[in-house]
Structure 1
């Protein structure tokens, strides 16, 4: 008599197929029925009536044991139905990249406009700052800030390249970066602060020279907005600190999209030290007021946490009690995260993968089935 028993069903997340494991076992039972263990050896009274009752039972048991030892395995592929819960959608990532680049260019344009409005040091001296009262200026400290920032950006870029879901993570980074530069444009324009220290030398004002302003914008963009490259000679972009934004944002993404194992914690600590030392060196160099750094950290961290809270909690998206949905950029968020229906895992893969035919034979499209059969 043949009996079928369902053993296992697995979801292969890597290749998108279901694997079904089935064991088919052929069990032979005696025709005369099984006897009680106490009846395997006939007694003196029953031995004469049924001398061969125990023999079929012993043979059936031995036959079943032999069948279990001889099992064959066959692969059968069952295609997985449904749509991926983490689609790449690179075209959305491209739009987020354009958004970030546009706001970066507009920020440099705004800096050139604000530079014309910065009051002269002789007319408006630096505002009092408690940190400057207790910590004297160190000339080389701002170079440490920019070097740390370049290291963190390079480390984050390499880590991003090896992420499996780099398209989703990339558009999150570019969207938040663009939002932070947009907010920075608003705060710089509505409140123009005087220079924070008397050591700062600002470039001459152009007074309506449009050609010269365009040249300064291109120079600032080509140099990455860094003083170490000699491209940033203008003043007025104080509230809030763009260097603090990049130091904080890159560290938050490095920490969020990497494992939490002890080995990776050392990596997190190193990146945190680079970020923290860079932020402190901004103040030690007297390049920004303390309020510039505090506001930059607060806006960057809150925006990062709000976005990822909404992205990682599916129940919040449609809840009428989720006040995070009332943010003015929630429509853009819903557009970018519409098809992301689960938390993005911290998994890595090679940036350039070879075709699947290089790793497996396409003719072998079957899964594992465990079976036993009668010899």
Structure 2
């Protein structure tokens, strides 16, 4: 009996070793079942009641494809049953625990639906335009820009009549007034580069919505910082419209219209009001354009990315040496722009971060609910680098697709 027991034990171990050896090759077909299997989670090779603990360690981790939930590893194995007749193993059955549902299916953020615009597989996620949300995001950005121009129209009459504040760059670098128009031309070029990239992006309405949201947040914060602290004019040679002792609502509305018509730029001669220092709007636009191109352009566009970053750095230097902004304005603008952009995209790339919770501290920012509304039906992860022709004509160009991988 002892010899029979030892023989049986050795046979069982040999059978399990062979099963491990042949499982990876057989699992390429996805689902492993045999005629005697009881369901999609059983792997049967042939028939008995001996329980063997699941394998441990990091050496052997084949993945088992489950038709509804993706993949699970052999860590999910509950038991291995081996049956024998007259001491000879005749069947081995592995009972695999059903893997938990994918988080993509929770909360409505993604669903295994085919792409409406020509996905290649049945498990491609669907990206919905949701143009109404994009319109709401645009209105949010427009309101924030009006708040910024309103703050500047008010602050203009509150400017202190004192010399510029001490600044290291002002002390070390001579003033060059031509730097301001150069920085604004670079700003226009980098901004339109990012806009053209978004226009040709296949999921352009999602990208528009994100950009409108981030720009709105930056300009709303800028309106607050400008209003609470008025700094003296940095460039005493820059023309500022005369201040008024009593500013009426009509005067403020007139100034708002003047600023909006010039898009806040001085090259068109309509930015004649001073006081918009903390923090730098020029730096915000330059840095944001570079971040957008980096995030949504494929790697094959590396020369374009390098060009946008060079324009951003050059434009920031030109703003500083022209005394268009204090150095602290530029530093704060860079910090706030990059952190807002990275925080927003970190949240939307992880489904768990898009949910409110006691351990999700990112959900405590005041605009988190707005983000949840705009990104509720967008699948988690980064948007694919897919591009298409944006116009409904010519018709033959509608079928053109430019898809890039990371």
TM-score by length of 2: 0.66
Residue pair 1:104, 1:181 contacting (<8 A) in 2 also: yes
Q: C-alpha distance in 1, partners of 2:333/2:302?
A: 25
Q: C-alpha distance in 2, partners of 1:227/1:356?
A: 41
Consecutive unaligned residues in structure 1, runs of 5 or more: 1-6, 20-79, 361-375
Correspondent of 1:187 among 215, 221, 225: 225
1:202 counterpart = 2:240: yes
How far the C-alpha of 1:356 sits from its partner, in A, is: 9.0
**Aligned position for 1:129:** 167
TM-score by length of 1: 0.71
How far the C-alpha of 1:315 sits from its partner, in A, is: 3.0
**Aligned position for 1:304:** 341
Residue pair 1:85, 1:342 contacting (<8 A) in 2 also: no
Residue pair 1:85, 1:339 contacting (<8 A) in 2 also: no
Correspondent of 1:352 among 374, 383, 391: 391
How far the C-alpha of 1:142 sits from its partner, in A, is: 0.4
Q: C-alpha distance in 1, partners of 2:138/2:169?
A: 37
**Aligned position for 1:290:** 327
1:269 counterpart = 2:306: yes
Correspondent of 1:233 among 268, 272, 280: 272
Could you list the per-position Cα deviations for residues 297-344 of structure 1 after superposition, in whole angstroms to 9, with x for gaps in the alignment?
100000000000001122322364221111111111110111112321
Correspondent of 1:155 among 190, 193, 210: 193
Distance 1:195 1:85, change over 3 A: same
Distance 1:174 1:315, change over 3 A: same
How far the C-alpha of 1:296 sits from its partner, in A, is: 0.5
**Aligned position for 1:100:** 141
Could you list the per-position Cα deviations for residues 62-89 of structure 1 after superposition, in whole angstroms to 9, with x for gaps in the alignment?
xxxxxxxxxxxxxxxxxx69x9532110
Could you list the per-position Cα deviations for residues 170-206 of structure 1 after superposition, in whole angstroms to 9, with x for gaps in the alignment?
0000000000000001101111111113223321113
Q: C-alpha distance in 2, partners of 1:358/1:153?
A: 26
Distance 1:161 1:193, change over 3 A: same
**Aligned position for 2:288:** 249
Q: C-alpha distance in 1, partners of 2:119/2:331?
A: 50
SS of residue matched to 2:386 = coil
Consecutive unaligned residues in structure 2, runs of 5 or more: 1-28, 31-66, 68-112, 400-406
Higher-Rg member (1/2): 1
Residue pair 2:392, 2:398 contacting (<8 A) in 1 also: no
**Aligned position for 2:353:** 316
Residue pair 2:114, 2:126 contacting (<8 A) in 1 also: no
Q: C-alpha distance in 1, partners of 2:314/2:119?
A: 48
Q: C-alpha distance in 2, partners of 1:214/1:266?
A: 43
Distance 1:12 1:324, change over 3 A: closer
Distance 1:316 1:209, change over 3 A: closer
Q: C-alpha distance in 2, partners of 1:256/1:323?
A: 24
Q: C-alpha distance in 2, partners of 1:359/1:111?
A: 45
Aligned residue pairs: how many?
Answer: 288
SS of residue matched to 1:348 = strand
Higher relative contact order (CA 8 A, sep 6+): 1
Q: C-alpha distance in 1, partners of 2:115/2:210?
A: 24
1:260 counterpart = 2:291: no
Q: C-alpha distance in 2, partners of 1:250/1:358?
A: 28
Q: C-alpha distance in 2, partners of 1:209/1:312?
A: 47
How far the C-alpha of 1:18 sits from its partner, in A, is: 8.1
How far the C-alpha of 1:15 sits from its partner, in A, is: 5.1
Distance 1:136 1:320, change over 3 A: same
Residue pair 2:288, 2:337 contacting (<8 A) in 1 also: yes
Distance 1:116 1:317, change over 3 A: same
Residue pair 1:86, 1:342 contacting (<8 A) in 2 also: no
**Aligned position for 1:112:** 153
Could you list the per-position Cα deviations for residues 182-238 of structure 1 after superposition, in whole angstroms to 9, with x for gaps in the alignment?
000110111111111322332111322443332221111111111100010111111
